[in-house]
């Protein structure tokens, strides 16, 4: 528990809150007046995924940058698949392949060159080299590039420590991004990558590497502890990941016959050739299904947890039981929603866009879906 608490970061928002207290002492404000001032501040969380398809800043990310630029209380997070098709490549810096991949990532960070809030990046399956061999090296290389590039190309308060989780590990990593929110970052592709001898990050304890089973158990114990911190402190817990728990997009399609053949028959051998990779990103693939089941079981123990993801290239919002699930993967691509398997409060699959969650007055939270265009906001709902 000490290690978990030790991972909390003192953010700009926290410093500002301390400034309010000092200001109040100097000018003789009451504690009630201090609370009123702090509650007047709105903290915005911008969520945009799958924005890495272009060598120029995509229109949706450009809008996020403009909206957040003057707001030191804002947090921006890229929800994975930051560089298509296979993450930031490593090799000869003069090769076109490496140069283009670095440019795709670089323009996204550079769009926030004057941003003074917090800026984070999490990995997606394409950042793991499209879930192919060498994915672990790929995601480590991307993190090294992102953290180094951010030092000179953004004024974000956390520049130099931007991409989480690191070292190909699943997390969870918690950041106290404002007085109302604990943000928990996880790398869901860790579960989907670790098959058919594809290496994944392994934590060491007392010099020994944990097995995947041990690491999986440790992860869910830690996630449960972090969610409990939110419950006991009265703060929102926002889990940010690449893969959704609920989606009506193309990644919820079952491909039942094909999936059974390559997972439960001798045709598993084709997984070694990468055939199974075509199915690992769908929620009914065995690894994904098991991960999703454990995430749901852990989240369902708590109320008012927000789980935000990308992966499907559209905007979707689900209110399931007492928790909230947001899909915001329409950064630079679009994909159609063909069938509503899960009850959805709102969806948009014909525009590029992003999500904003506003936190104010303690436990108040509002979700907004914005699309690129003159009438930007298409949906607004209180999370309650």
Q: Which two tokens stand for residue 369?
A: 């879906």
User: pTM (2 decimals)?
Assistant: 0.86
CA atoms of 11 and 193, how far apart (whole Å): 33
Give the CA-trace dihedral at 279, 284, 287, 288, to 10 degrees: 90
Q: For residue 329, is it left (φ>0), alpha (ψ between -120 and 50) or beta?
A: alpha
Instruction: Tell me which residue of 378, 383, 353 sits closest to 79, measured CA to CA.
Output: 353
Show Cβ contacts of residue 177 under 8 Å, excluding neighbours closer than 6 positions.
11, 13, 43, 45, 75, 118, 183
Q: How far is CA 275 from CA 32, 291, 296, in A?
A: 62, 20, 28
Cβ burial 218-228 (10 Å sphere, 16+ → b, else e): ebbebbeebbe
SS3 84: coil
Exposed/middle/buried for residue 346 (C-beta within 10 Å: 0-12, 13-18, 19+): middle
Q: What is the pLDDT of residue 262?
A: 53
d(CA 216, CA 220): 7
Contacts 24+ apart (CB under 8 A), 212-220: 215/169, 215/170, 216/170, 216/191, 216/294, 219/170, 219/171, 219/172, 219/186, 220/294, 220/298
Are residues 342 and 247 in contact, defined by beta-carbon separation less than 8 angstroms? yes
Domains: count for the chain? 1
Distance, in Å, from the CA atom of 201 to the CA atom of 83, rounded to the nearest integer, reads 20
Tell me how crowded residue 3 is: count the other CB atoms within 10 A of its CB: 8
Q: Which domain holds residue 250?
A: 2-382
What's the confidence (pLDDT) of residue 311? 94
CATH code, domain with 308 = 3.60.21.10
HSE-up of 354 (CA within 13 Å, CB side)?
28
**How confident is the model at residue 41, as a pLDDT?**
85
How many Å apart are CA 354 and CA 4, to the nearest integer?
30
Distance CA 247, CA 243 (A): 9
Residue for token pair 């990644």: 251
pLDDT tens-digit profile, the chain (384 residues)? 434 433 434 344 444 445 444 444 444 444 444 445 555 789 999 999 999 999 999 999 999 999 999 899 999 999 999 999 999 998 888 899 999 999 999 999 999 999 999 999 999 999 999 878 889 999 999 999 999 999 999 999 999 999 999 999 999 999 999 999 999 999 999 999 876 678 999 999 998 999 999 999 999 999 999 999 999 999 999 999 999 999 998 867 665 555 555 555 565 555 555 555 555 678 888 889 999 999 999 999 999 999 999 999 999 999 999 999 999 999 999 888 877 889 999 999 889 999 999 999 878 999 999 999 766 899 999 998
Instruction: Give residue for tokens 């928990």.
Output: 184
Cα 215–chain centre separation:
20
Report the alpha-carbon distance of residue 123 to residue 190 in Å, rounded.
Answer: 10
Q: Give the pLDDT confidence score for residue 47 in this predicted structure.
A: 98
What's the pLDDT score for residue 250? 84
């Amino acid at each position: 528990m000490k290690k978990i608490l030790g991972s909390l970061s003192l953010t700009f928002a926290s410093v500002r809150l301390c400034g309010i207290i000092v200001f109040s002492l100097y000018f003789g404000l009451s504690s009630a007046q201090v609370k009123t001032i702090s509650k007047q501040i709105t903290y915005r969380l911008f969520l945009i995924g799958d924005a890495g398809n272009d060598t120029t800043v995509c229109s949706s990310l450009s809008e996020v940058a403009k909206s957040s630029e003057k707001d030191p209380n804002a947090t921006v997070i890229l929800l994975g698949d930051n560089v298509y098709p296979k993450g930031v490549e490593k090799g000869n810096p003069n090769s076109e392949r490496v140069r283009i991949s670095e440019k795709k990532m670089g323009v996204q960070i550079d769009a926030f060159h004057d941003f003074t809030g917090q800026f984070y990046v999490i990995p997606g399956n394409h950042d793991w080299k499209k879930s192919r061999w060498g994915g672990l090296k790929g995601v480590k290389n991307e993190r090294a590039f992102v953290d180094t590039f951010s030092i000179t190309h953004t004024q974000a308060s956390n520049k130099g420590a931007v991409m989480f989780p690191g070292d190909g590990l699943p997390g969870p990593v918690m950041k106290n991004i404002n007085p109302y929110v604990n943000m928990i970052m996880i790398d869901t592709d860790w579960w989907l990558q670790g098959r058919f001898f594809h290496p994944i990050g392994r934590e060491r304890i007392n010099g020994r590497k944990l097995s995947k089973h041990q690491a999986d158990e440790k992860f869910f114990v830690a996630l449960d502890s972090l969610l409990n911190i939110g419950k006991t402190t009265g703060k929102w817990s926002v889990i940010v990941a690449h893969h959704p728990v609920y989606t009506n997009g193309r990644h919820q399609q079952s491909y039942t016959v094909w999936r059974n053949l390559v997972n439960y028959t001798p045709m598993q051998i084709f997984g070694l050739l990468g055939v199974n990779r075509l199915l690992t990103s769908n929620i009914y693939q065995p690894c994904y299904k098991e991960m999703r089941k454990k995430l749901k079981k852990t989240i369902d123990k708590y109320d008012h947890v927000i789980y935000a993801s990308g992966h499907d290239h559209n905007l979707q919002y689900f209110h399931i039981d007492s928790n909230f699930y947001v899909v915001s993967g329409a950064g630079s691509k679009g994909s159609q929603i063909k069938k509503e398997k899960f009850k959805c409060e709102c969806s948009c699959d014909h525009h590029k866009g992003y999500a904003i969650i506003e936190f104010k007055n303690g436990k108040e939270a509002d979700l907004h879906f914005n699309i690129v265009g003159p009438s930007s906001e298409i949906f607004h709902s209180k999370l309650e």
